Structure 1
Amino acid sequence: MTTYKIFCDESCHLEHDGADVMVLGAIHCTADKAVSLIKHIKWLRHQHNYKPELKWSKLNKHQWPLYRDLVDLLVSDPDVRFKATVVLNKNILDHQQYNAGSHSNFYYKMFYYTLRDFLKEGNDYRIYLDYMDTLGAEKSRKLCDVLQKGTSWQIKVNTTIVQSYEAQLIQLCDLLIGAVAYRNRDDIEHASAIKMQFVEYLEAKLGYALNYGTPPWEQQFNIFRFQPRRSNAE
């Protein structure tokens, strides 16, 4: 049995936050690879004399060399996988008709779509979620239950809530989903030079734009774009 670790984060996930998209993302690798990645990220932070938490909302133009090195680290390693689920036109979601009246039901459905391609029979999965609010423990249990019931395979799934400032790979995930969300949002002015620099550099390294869905078989950096159905009443 191989042990894998999955580090998750989310952007614009609240039902009424004014954003026109929702993005869920996850970094997946073996437990041993996670240890080496964390050590490398800490080394890069030391090399660039960077101490604060890495967050998309706090990108600093003076730290561009660090962001560039982090992108290079991720994209150059075939043993590290990333997936983002982008929910488009979030404002037309009809939870009453399609999700038993619950935004939470929809949220867990999208997280299942985000993580299901990582799951293989006979493996042990340790999933790390960013602490967001006091409902973290309930969210952790629910996601674990959804993933185990979503497949007939024999897999072991454990979820853990952590503080993002203690988790280097959740911070890296935050940067990646921030870039995906930024490129896919039509409701904002894309006026930040450092954010556009990050997005364009990542796209150049990948060889494709972040506002298009990738083929299902793309493993290293997969983007799944979900278009909600409009209400039958419209």
Structure 2
Amino acid sequence: MDKKGTTPVYKIFCDESCHLEHDGADIMVLGGIRCTTEKATALNKHIKWLRHQHNYHTELKWTKLVAKQIDFYKALIDLLFDDEDIWFKATVVQHKERLEHNAYNEGSHNLFYYKMFYYTLRDFLQPGNEYKIYLDYMDTMGGEKAKKLCDVLKTESREGLKVDIYIIQSYESQMIQLCDLIIGAVSYKNRSDIGHTSKIKCQVIDYLEQKVGHALNYGTPPWERNFNIFRFAPSVEGR
């Protein structure tokens, strides 16, 4: 409990990139941003203010960056790093084409997906707190996937975990859009199957790496909280 004697409530905003089994990408990235409910409200207001300041009124998506808005993207990245109460974590699955689902995941890419989301979220979760996890709407199977992930988190985590998962549209959430920006940068940097020819994307990555202090295609120590990257290679699958 916090100083007021109430159960802390945290929100986790999640996004994913190249997560489908046969999408041609050689990696998969899952990630999330965690903060308190109060912090999420403040960040939402701040992002809306930044949008007004930079005249940016469309949905923020990594796939649709605008070159002249580099200062807006930098301001969003500053939000993430200038506040110690905000945690970001991404899981980068390398060499996705080498995954042996028949040997380790009952032949199911979806099962592997849930495993990786569990590893992505588990460090955010502590018994005694309450968590509300928000996933971007992807398809009509979203409700079923959310229930499955919720069950996995409750089963694999320690006793007493309070967690609910919600499916929302990305345009409804400033925080999911922020997560999309960061996940997109991590994914773009780690992909070896594409040419890195987008000037604006490389500018965003360069600025993000300056803030992090290292390249986005390197893992971080497990205790790193503000910006954590967990790299998973198929060779260690099943351990």
Fold similarity call, TM over 0.5:
yes
Structure 1 spans left out of the alignment, 5+ residues: none
Give the match for residue 52 of structure 2.
46
For normalisation by structure 1, the TM-score amounts to: 0.97
Give the match for residue 167 of structure 2.
161
For normalisation by structure 2, the TM-score amounts to: 0.95
The aligned runs of 1:122-133 (5 Å cut-off) are: 122-133=128-139
Mapped partners of 1:93, 1:160: distance in 2 = 29
Is residue 187 of structure 1 aligned with residue 189 of structure 2? no
1:59 to 65, 74, 78: 65
Give the match for residue 83 of structure 2.
77
Q: CA RMSD, aligned part only?
A: 1.0
Mapped partners of 2:159, 2:46: distance in 1 = 34
Structure 2 spans left out of the alignment, 5+ residues: 1-6
Q: Deviations over 1:75-126 (max 9, x none)?
A: 1110100000000000001100010110000000000000000001101000
Q: Deviations over 1:32-77 (max 9, x none)?
A: 1000010100100011111110000001101111001001111111
Identity %: 65
Is residue 116 of structure 1 aligned with residue 122 of structure 2? yes
Cα displacement (A) at 1:230:
8.3
1:137 to 140, 143, 153: 143
**SS of the residue 2:25 aligns to:** coil
**SS of the residue 1:229 aligns to:** helix
The aligned runs of 1:24-39 (5 Å cut-off) are: 24-39=30-45
- Structure 1 segments of 4+ aligned residues over 3 angstroms from their partners: none
Mapped partners of 2:215, 2:158: distance in 1 = 35
Is residue 20 of structure 1 aligned with residue 26 of structure 2? yes
1:10 to 5, 12, 16: 16
Shift in CA distance, 132/71, structure 1 to aligned 2, threshold 3 Å: same
